Chain A
Amino acid sequence: MSLGPRSNLIFAAGGDVLAKYGTLTRRLQIPTFGGEGGKETFARASVATSQGYVTPGVLGIVPVAVGVPRIDWAVDPVTGLVQPYALIEATATNQARFNRDLTNAV
């Protein structure tokens, strides 16, 4: 992370940070204050999914384990490019049962 004299950036997080550094969070400050070692604390009590590459060049659904942050690959409507995003979601409930096996639909 560059610490420009103009912006005085001290913290960065999100998909752009992941794309550049391979981590979701970067914090620039002297180590005494938890600087470069700073890392997010993440929690999610259930498994989940995100949109990612299931084969090269093909976006689909990828499973994400309990407690693991999610990276969602999506087309940016401004740039037109597929890029990673850090996905944060509130809880949701799927009422559709056996939702991948329609032999159980009724």
Chain B
Amino acid sequence: MPAAKDQVGADGVASGASSLLATAGNATCLQAITLASSQRLQSAWIKRLVGSGTVQMTTDGGSTWVTVAITTAWARYTIPAQTVTNPSIGFRLVTNADKIAVDYVQNETGPFVTSAIANATAGALARSSDFWTGGWFLQPQTLWWYCRFLERGGVNIGSSPVLVIMGADTSGFGTQITLGTTSGSKFILLHSTSGPAVSVTTATGPTVGQVCELLALIRADGSVELRQSLNGAAETTTGQSAGLTFAPAWTANTIGIGTIAGGGDSGVTTEAFSRVLVGLGTGVLTVADARAVAV
């Protein structure tokens, strides 16, 4: 169907986005991609310009059409991920003369959508990882950590990325405390002394879109406990691990949020953090305590 690059985009820029006009019923706009078999997640920013007919998206060239309930305002829509070889992605307007605006079409690997990647090239385009680290200054001791974040899919990343890491070297090893993800879409809290280590793992994890709160407790005997609340529900606990004598120093005086110190793509999570707090001692023992801490 006819396309024109004539719409104010989802970024507010004039002629930043495209329109699609159905000149017949079941009009389609498709783009073929040459790609080995993989799980594909298809998304796009869409708004309705004319008409009220059904609007659909596809990842597999139209073998499967998924209806998206669009409005006259820009919003991002995704359709369920599919494992596809050579995906063919696009749109179908069921009703003749309907017209929609489309922006930031995205086809990416995996089960969850990530931030929009503007691609004005004739090939695929990558967005690099975010690396957030900082210096640290205190030796291993009794601590509490609290993270509150919008689950964006990091818990499902198979390489087990970190949420917060303290003390590890640039490879993620050494005397450290790590709050990260582990297999089964769960979270793990690890206290390691470059040899002996203790850890605890949550029984469950969040689903994409939930608010997740995690409280990591590192106690005076070196044991660890991880408490979790999802969408404000009652908190659960892993219970307390065995004790572990603190090492006299970290392997590196660093703290990383969502990444290991020094970077490394396999260590990077995908989350949106409203709070990462670190405190000394045992004044905070529950998620409810942590919520009450003023930043």
Q: Residues of A with Cβ closer than 8 Å to B?
A: 1-2, 4-17, 20-21, 25-27, 29, 33-34, 38-51, 54-55, 58, 60-63, 69-70, 72, 74, 76-78, 83-106
Tell me whether B278 and A10 are in contact (CB under 8 A): yes
Using A10-B280, A12-B295 as known contacts, say yes or no to A100 and B127 having CB atoms under 8 A apart.
no
Residue of A29, A58, A85 with highest tally of chain B CB at under 10 A: A85
Residue of B18, B74, B90, B259 with highest tally of chain A CB at under 10 A: B18
Return chain A residues, CB-CB under 8 Å to B289. Answer: 7
Q: How many A-B residue pairs have CB under 8 A?
A: 290
Return chain B residues, CB-CB under 8 Å to A76. Answer: 150, 211, 274
Return chain B residues, CB-CB under 8 Å to A102. Answer: 3, 5, 18, 20, 29, 102, 105
How far, in angstroms, from A101 to B17 measured CA to CA in the complex?
6
Tell me whether A89 and B127 are in contact (CB under 8 A): yes
How far, in angstroms, from A84 to B149 measured CA to CA in the complex?
11
Name 8 extra pairs, CB < 8 A, besides A60-B10, A89-B268: A46-B126, A61-B116, A92-B126, A94-B107, A94-B124, A96-B33, A100-B120, A103-B18
Residue of A nearest to B289 (CB): A7
Which segment of B131-139, B169-177, B220-228, B241-249 sits at the interface? B131-139
Tell me if B23 is interfacial: C-beta within 8 Å of chain A. no
How far, in angstroms, from A61 to B283 measured CA to CA in the complex?
41
How far, in angstroms, from A78 to B161 measured CA to CA in the complex?
25
Q: Closest 4 A-B residue pairs measured CB to CB?
A: A88-B258, A85-B272, A54-B12, A102-B18
Using A61-B11, A63-B118, A95-B107 as known contacts, say yes or no to A88 and B280 having CB atoms under 8 A apart.
no
Number of interface residues of B (CB under 8 A): 94
Return chain A residues, CB-CB under 8 Å to B295. Answer: 1-2, 9, 12, 16-17, 20-21, 26
Return chain B residues, CB-CB under 8 Å to A41. Answer: 131-134
Q: Return the CB mask of B85-105 against A: 1 if under 8 Å, else 0.
A: 001011000000000001111
Residue of B nearest to A15 (CB): B274
Using A38-B135, A45-B128, A60-B74 as known contacts, say yes or no to A88 and B33 having CB atoms under 8 A apart.
no
Using A8-B279, A69-B132, A97-B31 as known contacts, say yes or no to A49 and B118 having CB atoms under 8 A apart.
yes
Using A2-B294, A12-B295, A102-B18 as known contacts, say yes or no to A94 and B117 having CB atoms under 8 A apart.
yes
| B11 contact from A25, A60, A87, Cβ within 8 A | A60
Residue of A nearest to B40 (CB): A95
How far, in angstroms, from A90 to B181 measured CA to CA in the complex?
14
Using A6-B283, A49-B115, A90-B265 as known contacts, say yes or no to A13 and B130 having CB atoms under 8 A apart.
no
Residue of A5, A27, A74, A78 with highest tally of chain B CB at under 10 A: A78
B156 CB, min distance to chain A CBs, angstroms: 11
Return chain B residues, CB-CB under 8 Å to A51. Answer: 115
How far, in angstroms, from A13 to B149 measured CA to CA in the complex?
11
Tell me whether B127 and A9 are in contact (CB under 8 A): no
How far, in angstroms, from A14 to B12 measured CA to CA in the complex?
26
| B279 contact from A9, A29, A86, Cβ within 8 A | A9
Return chain B residues, CB-CB under 8 Å to A29. Answer: 137-138
Tell me if B114 is interfacial: C-beta within 8 Å of chain A. yes
Q: Return the CB mask of B252-295 against A: 1 if under 8 Å, else 0.
A: 00010111000101001111111111111101100001000111
Tell me whether A95 and B87 are in contact (CB under 8 A): yes
A62 CB, min distance to chain B CBs, angstroms: 7
Tell me whether B33 and A95 are in contact (CB under 8 A): yes
Return chain B residues, CB-CB under 8 Å to A12. Answer: 275-278, 295
A14 CB, min distance to chain B CBs, angstroms: 4
How far, in angstroms, from A47 to B116 measured CA to CA in the complex?
11
How far, in angstroms, from A100 to B33 measured CA to CA in the complex?
16
How far, in angstroms, from A78 to B138 measured CA to CA in the complex?
34
